[in-house]
Amino acid sequence: MPALRFRNPAFRTLIRARVARVTRLTPHFITVTLASEEMGGFDYLGVDQAVRLFFPRRGQDGLRLPNSSGNSWIAKIYLIPAAVRPHVRNYTIRACRPDAGELDIEFVAHGDDSPASHWATHARPGDEAGLFPEGIQYLPPDPRVPQLLVADESAVPAVLSILDHAPAGLRASVFLEVPTSSDIRIFPALAGVRVHWLPRDGRGGIPGALALETVRAAALPPGEFYTFVAGESALPTGLRRHLVNDRGRPRSSVTCVGYWRHGRASLG
Ligand SMILES: Cc1cc2nc3c(=O)[nH]c(=O)nc-3n(C[C@H](O)[C@H](O)[C@H](O)COP(=O)(O)OP(=O)(O)OC[C@H]3O[C@@H](n4cnc5c(N)ncnc54)[C@H](O)[C@@H]3O)c2cc1C
């Protein structure tokens, strides 16, 4: 049987939330904490679990959400007139506290012209948002096998969350590309996990190119290993090609997730 490529929560529904707090973590990362009384039923799976985040268009008062459960929001959202239809974007749940009715999202602040980046940069306590839980794609087939985790800044929250949930004894090489040295985080050291921060610091190239180039030249674990790579689409596709074609890794040992495409806005 082929390995599972994703796992969804058992129960999924669209909930209304409000911004509780906004914290500027580093020059390019902002944590927005969202709170909802409906979070109790949230099926939190940890690791790289994401949400669809719904937020109002710029200058719009209030948030119009489709009235739906399960996946039916996808059809129903198009019944909302385009001028007041919310934006929808994918974001990782960096941390979740269902008992407190809160979750944190870490946004890359990549420019005020982009809707989600603008929303996070200007978010204030009380602002409305919608949340629909998505699934996880980080699915190592055997936790004893060493891992290679690679991300540009958009997937740094996913990899840090994966490390937060790491089993004792995890052996991993981790490559995290960030815009500047000031975006490097202090992270509790885990025995067996080696983290390489890769700041671009003004060096040109699109996000993810430095991580791809670095991993291509790196000494990787001998023998079997599982890879999770996410970020601008050229990073996951380029790294999978390299691992399969040049390092002889089976395709099934690589979870490769395109989070965004350079020069292309997300739909919605
Ligand atoms: C499963 C999943 C989880 C994700 N988790 C996170 C997360 O936790 N944090 C996070 O910040 N992002 C995350 N992303 C990526 C995020 O959804 C995209 O970056 C999204 O395009 C941002 O929306 P926007 O409205 O800011 O830009 P868009 O309107 O989609 O794009 C506008 C322009 O900005 C460019 N752009 C988009 N994202 C970036 C970026 N990060 N850096 C530079 N340019 C960019 C586009 O190429 C386009 O030219 C995730 C994506 C997926 C699929």
2 pLDDT above the threshold of 80: no
4 pLDDT above the threshold of 70: no
For 18-74, the pLDDT digits (tens) are 999 999 999 999 999 999 999 887 889 999 999 999 999 998 888 999 877 677 888
Atom of ligand 1 nearest to the CA of 94: 8
- Ligand 1 centroid to Cα of residue 265, in Å, is 8
What is the mean predicted confidence (pLDDT) over 156-172?
Answer: 96
For 238-268, the pLDDT digits (tens) are 999 999 999 999 999 999 999 999 999 998 8
Q: Is the CB of 91 under 6 A from ligand 1?
A: yes
Residue nearest to atom 40 of ligand 1 (CA): 110
Mean pLDDT of the chain: 94
- pLDDT in the model for residue 135: 96
For 86-125, the pLDDT digits (tens) are 999 999 999 999 889 999 999 999 999 999 999 999 999 9
Q: Is the CB of 58 under 6 A from ligand 1?
A: no
Query: Rounded to two decimals, what is the model's pTM?
Result: 0.97
3-state secondary structure the chain: CCCCCCECCCCCECEEEEEEEEEEEECCEEEEEEECHHHHHCCCCCCCCEEEEEECCCCCCCCCCCCCEHHHHHHHHHHCCHHHCCEEEEEECCEEEHHHCEEEEEEECCCCCCHHHHHHHHCCCCCEEEEEECCECCCCCCCCCCEEEEECHHHHHHHHHHHHCCCCCCCEEEEEEECCHHHCCCCCCCCCEEEEEEECCCCCCCCCHHHHHHHHHCCCCCCCCEEEEEEECHHHHHHHHHHHHCCCCCHHHEEEEEEEECCECCCC
143 pLDDT above the threshold of 90: no
198 pLDDT above the threshold of 50: yes
Q: Is the CB of 115 under 6 A from ligand 1?
A: yes
Q: Which domains does the chain have, with CATH numbers?
A: 15-133 (2.40.30.10), 147-260 (3.40.50.80)
